[in-house]
Amino acid sequence: DARVTQTPRHKVTEMGQEVTMRCQPILGHNTVFWYRQTMMQGLELLAYFRNRAPLDDSGMPKDRFSAEMPDATLATLKIQPSEPRDSAVYFCASGRGYEQFFGPGTRLTVL
């Protein structure tokens, strides 16, 4: 059945390193979202794409985070340089209309 896939599932890195997370949305979905989940903040939106165009990235620290959709089957979220406070689970979701379907997440640990 159709699912959102994310890679890697787990990432441990050292402060200052670049981190790239990838997402494959469900075929036919035209919206893609990146969320971050932490114990303190819960689930919060980082970026939103519709038809591959970035529409909202106001939740993303612009100095170190960037999100792109090079094509309809791939969305990327990059952190450069990474910091310990970036440790969290990063979820990608896709949808068509209002309903959103989430991937399994990337658990990022920055030491």
Partner 1 sequence: GIQVEQSPPDLILQEGANSTLRCNFSDSVNNLQWFHQNPWGQLINLFYIPSGTKQNGRLSATTVATERYSLLYISSSQTTDSGVYFCAGDNQAGTALIFGKGTTLSVSS
Tell me how crowded residue 6 is: count the other CB atoms within 10 A of its CB.
Answer: 20
Cis peptide before 8 (omega within 30 of 0): yes
Question: What CA–CA distance (Å, rounded) separates 28 from 7?
Answer: 20
Question: What CA–CA distance (Å, rounded) separates 8 from 30?
Answer: 23
Nearer to partner 1, 15 or 43 (CB): 43
> Does the protein bind partner 1 through residue 55 (CB under 8 A)?
yes
| Binding residue (CB under 8 A) for partner 1 from 56, 61, 73, 94 | 56
Residue indicated by tokens 């159709």: 2
Residues 69-108 that bind partner 1 (CB under 8 A): 89, 91, 93, 98-102, 104-105, 107
Residues 17-46 that bind partner 1 (CB under 8 A): 33, 35, 42-45
Q: Which residues of the shown chain bind partner 1 in the complex (CB under 8 A)?
A: 33, 35, 42-45, 48, 55-56, 59, 89, 91, 93, 98-102, 104-105, 107
